[in-house]
Amino acid sequence: MNDEHSDATVSKTDRRGFIKGAAAAGLLGLAPAVASAAGPQATVEDPQKPAGLGSMGLPDGRFPMMYETSVPEAVRVLTQYFKALSQRDLRALSQTVQYPFASYEGTDPVVIQTAEELIAKAPPSMNMSENPERFTDHDGYIKAGSYDVFGGIEIFNSDNARVNLALTYDRYGKDGKRMLRCEGIYCITNNDGRWGIQLMSTIFTPSDLVGTVYEDTIMACARLREDHCLAFQVNEGNDLARTVQFGKIAAMADVSYSLLQNNAINGNPMATYKIKGVQTRLVTREVSEESVLGPGPAPISANLNNPGDPQTRGNRSGNGDFSRSARELYARIGHGIKWGFVSGAPMGHRVVHHSMNKAHMYSGVTRFTPAGEEINTTMELDVVTYKKAHWGIPGSPLTFAYITTHDRVNDLDNV
């Protein structure tokens, strides 16, 4: 997604902490599994503007609404997911996700519309059949008598409606020898009062290869995020085009930076944090190489709900004055802020998991004034894939939730 220009919105149809063992288990008592049918659901309310939010500021990690409820709920859901997986209970597992649901299996997403579909044809990372159909989108990793051992949950960032996390577990054979390690990332969302996994991605590694470092994968990840930011630094649309991955993509739809900032400028900073009535936060579509890199105007980034929007179109030579658009956006904020430059590898950037053709990257952007003062920082969790000799980010530049971790604008009313 083009984080500076996208106006993607929620479609109804279509900091960090390391928590292990007892810490995660202690959160299990917070609430029943997910979407319990017993008893009436509590009234769903959208969040109120928190005290201390700047006149044109964005909610960030200083406000309890960003973590107080969402983090415990997300850890609960992910713990229940792992419990169901480890007990080979596909029906219980199906209750921990939001529908439609998507999972990046290998380098492509598998999209599941209903619980019944998941149970009938689970993606490989969830498939519990001991004889899965080989070379299909529901192949699997299960061997008779195998068992899973919890490794840990890591929380990256959160707001009231979305949490980005990672889960690691090892799979052992019945002889007690480790066979595989699974490293996954998960976006857990609150849709109309129900918490569940909306989007995930997994990397399975044979035990003998655990710990192998692929330097080219790590370098590609940094370059992709930096190229996106350079597009706004030097007005080069081709930098944006290079970050895109082709083929079927699944991504989070409703937290692009321009959407967040324009809501605040227009006096409705809480619009993006809506919960009531939201049915899904997932979008899927096909991205062709021709549409991105071919001659003439073409969608190059991720206004996924409106790919024909001229703000998200470009061509090989680049035709958008991106830095001008950013300057104009910040001029509306006031406080004397003059947009200067952006960083595509802010504090916290790292490759969380990786293989020879896929990575999970925690990254984002910090925006600065010409004097070098931070304006704000937004961070996301991305899937990065290598297909047909091309590295790209599905939904470029972001796949999972995009969350404001710090907005200095909140401090400027009192300066």
Question: For the segment 163-212, what is each residue's pLDDT rounded down to a tens digit?
Answer: 999 999 999 999 999 999 999 999 999 999 999 999 999 999 999 999 99
> Are both 343 and 408 inside the same structural domain?
yes
Question: For the segment 340-382, what is each residue's pLDDT rounded down to a tens digit?
Answer: 888 887 888 999 999 999 999 999 999 999 899 999 999 999 9
Among 177, 209, 241, identify where a domain stops. Answer: 209
> Is 267 within a domain?
yes
> Are both 193 and 249 inside the same structural domain?
no
Q: What is the pLDDT at residue 167?
A: 98
Q: What is the 3-state secondary structure (H, E, C) of the chain?
A: CCCCCCCCCCCCCCCCEEECHHHHHHHHHHCCCCCCCCCCCCCCCCCCCCCCCCCCCCCCCCCHHHCCCHHHHHHHHHHHHHHHHHCCCHHHHHCCEEEEEEEEECCEEEEECCHHHHHHCCCCCCCCCCCCCCCCCCCCCCCCCCEEEEEEEEEEEECCCEEEEEEEEEEECCCCCEEEEEEEEEEEEEECCEEEEEEEEEEEEEHHHCCCCCHHHHHHHHHHHHHHHHHHHHCCHHHHHHCECCEEEEEECCCCHHHHHHHHHCCCCCHHHCCCCCCCCEEEEEECHHHHHCCCCEECCCCCCCCCCHHHEECCCCCCCHHHHHHHHHHHHCCCCCCCEEECCCCCCEEEEECCCEEEEEEEEEEECCCCCEEEEEEEEEEEEEECCEEEECCCCCCCCEEEEEECHHHHCCC
Among 185, 209, 233, identify where a domain stops. Answer: 209
Question: For the segment 207-243, what is each residue's pLDDT rounded down to a tens digit?
Answer: 999 999 999 999 999 999 888 888 877 766 666 677 8
* pLDDT tops 80 at residue 254: no
Q: Any idea what the CATH number is for the domain that residue 273 is in? A: 3.10.450
Split at pLDDT 50, 70, 90, the class of 21 is very low
The position carrying tokens 């990397």 is 203
- Angle at which helix 322-333 crosses helix 257-265, to 10 degrees, equals 30
Which of 39-43, 84-88, 298-302 has the least mean pLDDT? 298-302
Query: What is the Cα–Cα distance from 244 to 239, expressed in whole angstroms?
Result: 10
* pLDDT tops 70 at residue 386: yes
> Are both 361 and 238 inside the same structural domain?
yes
> Is 43 within a domain?
yes
Split at pLDDT 50, 70, 90, the class of 413 is confident
**Sign of the Cα pseudo-torsion (176, 212, 15, 363, in order):** negative
Most confident of 41-45, 54-58, 299-303: 54-58
> Are both 204 and 220 inside the same structural domain?
no
Q: Any idea what the CATH number is for the domain that residue 193 is in? A: 3.10.450.50
Q: What is the pLDDT at residue 29?
A: 33
> Are both 150 and 287 inside the same structural domain?
no
Question: For the segment 93-143, what is each residue's pLDDT rounded down to a tens digit?
Answer: 999 999 999 999 999 999 999 999 999 999 999 999 888 888 888 888 899
* pLDDT tops 50 at residue 56: yes
> Are both 25 and 125 inside the same structural domain?
yes
Q: Which residues of 82-92 are buried (b: 16+ CB within 10 A; e: fewer)?
A: bbbbeeeebeb
> Are both 78 and 176 inside the same structural domain?
yes
Which of 23-37, 257-271, 340-354 has the least mean pLDDT? 23-37
Among 158, 181, 209, identify where a domain stops. Answer: 209
> Are both 300 and 182 inside the same structural domain?
no
> Is 6 within a domain?
no
Whether residue 199 contacts residue 251, with contact meaning beta carbons closer than 8 Å, is answered with yes
Tally of structural domains, the chain: 2
> Are both 397 and 381 inside the same structural domain?
yes
Query: What is the Cα–Cα distance from 110 to 101, expressed in whole angstroms?
Result: 8
- Whole-prediction pTM value? 0.84
> Is 349 within a domain?
yes
**Mean pLDDT calculated for residue range 3-21:** 36
Which of 259-263, 293-297, 312-316 has the least mean pLDDT? 312-316
> Are both 104 and 60 inside the same structural domain?
yes
> Is 5 within a domain?
no
Range of 119's domain? 17-209
Q: What is the pLDDT at residue 342?
A: 86
Whether residue 191 contacts residue 278, with contact meaning beta carbons closer than 8 Å, is answered with yes
Split at pLDDT 50, 70, 90, the class of 295 is low
* pLDDT tops 50 at residue 301: no
Query: What is the Cα–Cα distance from 266 to 269, expressed in whole angstroms?
Result: 8
> Are both 181 and 231 inside the same structural domain?
no
Query: What is the Cα–Cα distance from 244 to 293, expressed in whole angstroms?
Result: 10
> Is 140 within a domain?
yes
**Tokens read off for 298:** 């073409």
Question: For the segment 273-289, what is each residue's pLDDT rounded down to a tens digit?
Answer: 999 999 999 999 998 87
| Sequence-distant (≥ 6) Cβ neighbours of residue 178 within 8 angstroms | 170, 171, 172, 207
> Are both 180 and 305 inside the same structural domain?
no
Q: What is the pLDDT at residue 28?
A: 33
Whether residue 73 contacts residue 352, with contact meaning beta carbons closer than 8 Å, is answered with no
> Is 8 within a domain?
no
> Is 187 within a domain?
yes
Give the chain's mean pLDDT: 83
Q: Tell me phi and psi for residue 341, to 5 degrees.
A: -155, 170
Name 299's bridge partners. 313
